[in-house]
Structure 1
Amino acid sequence: MKRRHFMLSILLAIPAATLAKFSWLKTAKTQKPFLIRADESRFQGEQKKMGNDLLRCVISCEDTHSGMLMGTTTAKSLADKGGPPLHLHTHQDEILFVSSGEFLIQIGTEIFRAKAGDAVFIPRGTHHTFANPIANNPGMLISIHQPGDKQMEVDFATVASGHFPKSWENDPTIVGPPIHVD
């Protein structure tokens, strides 16, 4: 009798294991790895040469099935603009990483001077912004948004062309002015 239960268990386990195997295949990512060069940008999963873009999309929402959006901006590109207005993201956490140079980063009402190697985690719903504080600053700031948002990527493309959108359709929510830089 015990052998019979054992054999029945094995026979019933085979379809379950097979279904689990196919279920895993359906969720596997089909995206291929890619290299993005320093003079390229990757909006909507398409790799293009950069022109005079102020913002560079490094990892598109299309690349990560909306799991993440990653971009970079240089202090040089912020020289005339200062930085984005004080804002918050309702649906995304953001990480800012200073890969070179210095930036001012505002979180809530507090403004920090962040240098190369410094990182900031900004939970969704937190007021924040950043700015270039120094003339001729060769710095670069990396921003990572998780999860990614396709509308945010469209807004990133607008910023890349040299304009902050007058109104954001979805996210972020503007809550104040940019950091004032002398």
Structure 2
Amino acid sequence: MNWLGFDVPARLSQIGGYMIQGLINGVTGMLGALKSTIVNAASSVANWFKEKLGIHSPSRVFAGLGGFVMAGLDQGLAANASGPLARITDLSGQMTRALAVGAGGVAIATASPLAAQVPASALEATAAAPAPIQQATYNITINASGGNAQDIAEQVREAIEQIERERRGRGFADE
């Protein structure tokens, strides 16, 4: 289209470009004024709060607010702890059952000779029905006639070692 001696679409496109460039120049040229206006408004609001609340030290106010934030966090954690704790309890139970099955039905022993053990019959347990873990029971008789605590402790240690040797001899060891 050529009206009045020039291409109208091309001319309108050029005018649109000038409008956009003018808008960009106007916005960027006024950024300083916009920033100044925002800073002044924020200062006015802060001063108003200080005056109304009788604040002389902003650091004390923010320290108080920080305390409120921490107290709120503490209350939120306390109010919602049951969910994560239940999940942890469930997970630990699943892990205990998996370890019992993964060890052929025998519980993994700790360094303590009083660690829980599983009877030999539990070795036939399947993954679908893990064997229950049973606590080892020790019956120890100590004759403490005039002995001191060190002597008693030695007798207990010797009795437990004897029981463990007997258990290993019957095939109940966790070797």
Q: TM-score scaled to structure 2, two decimals? A: 0.24
More helix by percentage = 2
| Structure showing greater Rg | 2
More strand by percentage = 1
